[in-house]
Each structure stands twice: as C-alpha cells, then as structure tokens.
Amino acid sequence: MRFVVTAGPTREPIDPVRYLSNRSSGKMGYAIAEAAAEAGHNVLLISGPVNLAAPKSLELISALSSDEMYDVVHRHLDGTDVVVMCAAVADYKPATVSAHKIKKQDQALSLELIPTRDILASLGKEDRQFLLVGFAAETNDLEKNARQKLQQKNCDIIVANDVSTITSGMETDENEVTILLRDGEIKKIARAPRA
C-alpha cells in the first residue's frame, strides 16, 4: 500500500524574520510514517519544519508553509491508498507579508489574519480513492469537536488529541488519543511512547 503522511507545523511568514506557527513537534507523524514503512508499505512523509532526524526508510519532502504543504499533498495523491493528515497546519496566515523586517515601535501592531486553505477538507471528496485519516488537536469537548470534524471534513477516521495539558499532546514523547471512526465506533489508546 502507498501512504502519504503529513507531520509537524507550518510557518506562515509575517516578514523575512518572523512567522506564525504552533508547538507541533512532528513526533506523531514521524512515528506513524516510520511504522507504516517498517510494516512494508511505500511511504511519503511530507514534513513541516521539525527538529527530528529524517527517516531513512521512506521518502521525505519538506513543506514550510500551509500553501506549500497543500501543493505537495495534492501533487502526490495519485496511486495513494491512505492519507494521514497528522500535520498541525496553521489555520490562519497574515493577509500581507512585509518584504522588509518590521521594525519595533512604541505602539501596538495589528496583523490582519486570513484563513489558510483547508488541506483536510480539500481531500474529503466523495469520489476519493484513498482512506482519509485526520487529526483533531483539542483543548475542550474532545469527542464532540472531533466527531464534528470527522463529519465536516468527510474523513474515514479522526484521531482526537487532547492538547490541554503539558503531559500529552504537542511536544511530548508520550501521548494518548481517542480514535473516532465514521461508523460511530470509538477507540481509546492509553498513554504510550510515540515511537
């Protein structure tokens, strides 16, 4: 089988030295990609900027921004059996990007943010030829919000990740998740190492 797995954060530029991002370490996506490769599958890992060693047993493509990740994912869907959208893609980006470094001043600075393209929603077409797995990083109403995302994005599976504490979720070596399937089944995965 052919897997496409996304991992890590995206960085949305504000100016040449600043960006908007999030705390995603990429550990979950890398662990999923490596597990699929070890099981004998053909795996393409599309990664945002992370501090992880590049896996040797699979193909790796870097994507810095949400637009780059959108384009790379869509270019590599042909012949794919499973798409695992584990990356923590930014929901918003600056409406304009300054060509020069924005200088510090003694007054407030406001940034206008606009929505990024929704990669997961763009993949949820009814006629797709692959299994679609999404992730939901939530701080409250975990199952309710994950179920809503499962339906709205037309996924087959949603992995709900509670990121409300520092002991699980982003930037940790261990995690626990709740998996929601399209048929209504729910599976809880107890706290365990990511790799």
Rounded to whole angstroms, the Cα distance separating 88 from 170 reads 10
Burial of 98 by CB count in 10 Å (0-12 exposed, 13-18 middle, 19+ buried)? middle
Rounded to whole angstroms, the Cα distance separating 89 from 153 reads 15
Give yes or no: 22 in active site: yes
Rounded to whole angstroms, the Cα distance separating 164 from 153 reads 23
Question: Of 131, 118, 120, 126, which is closest to residue 2 (Cα–Cα)?
Answer: 131
Instruction: Quote the tokens at residue 76.
Output: 């590599």
9 within 8 A of 87, measured Cβ to Cβ: yes
Rounded to whole angstroms, the Cα distance separating 22 from 170 reads 9
**Mind telling me the catalytic residues?**
22
